[in-house]
Amino acid sequence: MKFFLDTANLDELKRGAAWGILDGVTTNPTLIAREGRPIEEQIRLICDIVDGDISAEVMALDAAAMVKEGRVLAAIHKNVVVKCPLTRDGIEATSILSKEGIRVNVTLCFSPAQALLAAKAGAHYISPFVGRLDDVGSDGMDLVRTIVAIYQNYGFGTQVLAASLRSPTHVVESALAGADVATMPLKVMEMLFEHPLTDKGLDQFLKDWAKVFNPAPKSR
Ligand code: E4P
């Protein structure tokens, strides 16, 4: 399973990249806007930090403009994956860009039917938004499981990128469901490391070692 960070913040990406477990980055207009630089510039800086697939989203709403924007984004770096929304125009743009050899991540997927459209259009990734479905009372992880099953039925090459993950449980359940990628905020990646018994065990090891090899000086 590949781990992506869902952020455009360079400090967060440097921190995640240092662990050696980072396979790529997803950005969206909200995340890019938060950093305050033009998208081309921000994506170029991200490509300097992370050697993996970097999703950059088009802002246009009609297919022709999406294709034009997608070509510009793809030309920034060989690792750029163009993100298109799951609309009629987004699917049309995905078909065109994919035929040109430009990889597309189809985003804002909330149903298995939408995921089928993305696969048929030749998308490289489909991004089901787990957390946002949970937010409205649906079972987001069920969507991931269903898409994985459907894609397996037909041998679609589109990779399932579980997105909008909000907790370590979401990451583990995505792995169980067979998602190819989990994208998560740095906060969630940090949480994957945590277990109180790891901290407790390490503390005990250090104390036992110190008792023998580094005893506290005796008081006079
Ligand atoms: C994925 O590509 C999206 O940027 C992201 O996962 C959305 O997550 P959110 O619902 O937490 O904003």
pLDDT values of the chain reduced to their tens digit, one per residue, 220 residues? 999 999 999 999 999 999 999 999 999 999 999 999 999 999 999 999 999 999 999 999 999 999 999 999 999 999 999 999 999 999 999 999 999 999 999 999 999 999 999 999 999 999 999 999 999 999 999 999 999 999 999 999 999 999 999 999 999 999 999 999 999 999 999 999 999 999 999 999 999 999 999 877 776 6
Centroid of ligand 1 to alpha carbon of 107 (angstroms): 9
Specify if 199 maps to a domain.
Answer: no
Specify if 207 maps to a domain.
Answer: no
152 three-state secondary structure: helix
Specify if 219 maps to a domain.
Answer: no
Centroid of ligand 1 to alpha carbon of 132 (angstroms): 8
- Between CA 71 and CA 64 the distance in angstroms is 11
Give me the pLDDT at residue 215, please: 77
Strand boundaries in the chain, DSSP class E: 2-6, 24-26, 53-57, 80-85, 104-109, 125-128, 159-162, 181-184
Question: Cβ(3) to ligand 1 under 6 A?
Answer: no
Pair 117, 104: CB distance under 8 Å: no
Burial of 98 (0-12, 13-18, 19+ CB in 10 A): buried
CB-CB neighbours of 201 under 10 Å:
11
Give me the pLDDT at residue 220, please: 64
Specify if 132 maps to a domain.
Answer: yes
Question: Cβ(174) to ligand 1 under 6 A?
Answer: no
Pair 163, 26: CB distance under 8 Å: yes
CATH code: domain of residue 124: 3.20.20.70
> Is there a catalytic annotation at residue 14?
no
Centroid of ligand 1 to alpha carbon of 76 (angstroms): 22
Domain count, the chain: 1
Q: 68, 83, 99, 211: which one is catalytic?
A: 83
Ligand 1 atom with least separation from CA of 131: 10
Place of tokens 């067979």: 178
The CB-side HSE value for 219 (13 A sphere, CA atoms) comes to 0
Specify if 201 maps to a domain.
Answer: no
Question: Cβ(158) to ligand 1 under 6 A?
Answer: no
Residue whose CA is at the smallest distance from ligand 1 atom 1: 163
Ligand 1 atom with least separation from CA of 55: 2
Specify if 140 maps to a domain.
Answer: yes
Can you read off the two tokens belonging to residue 200? 């407790």
Query: Rounded to two decimals, what is the model's pTM?
Result: 0.95
Residue whose CA is at the smallest distance from ligand 1 atom 7: 164
Specify if 220 maps to a domain.
Answer: no
Domain that holds residue 177: 2-194
Give me the pLDDT at residue 143, please: 98
Residue whose CA is at the smallest distance from ligand 1 atom 8: 164
Specify if 24 maps to a domain.
Answer: yes
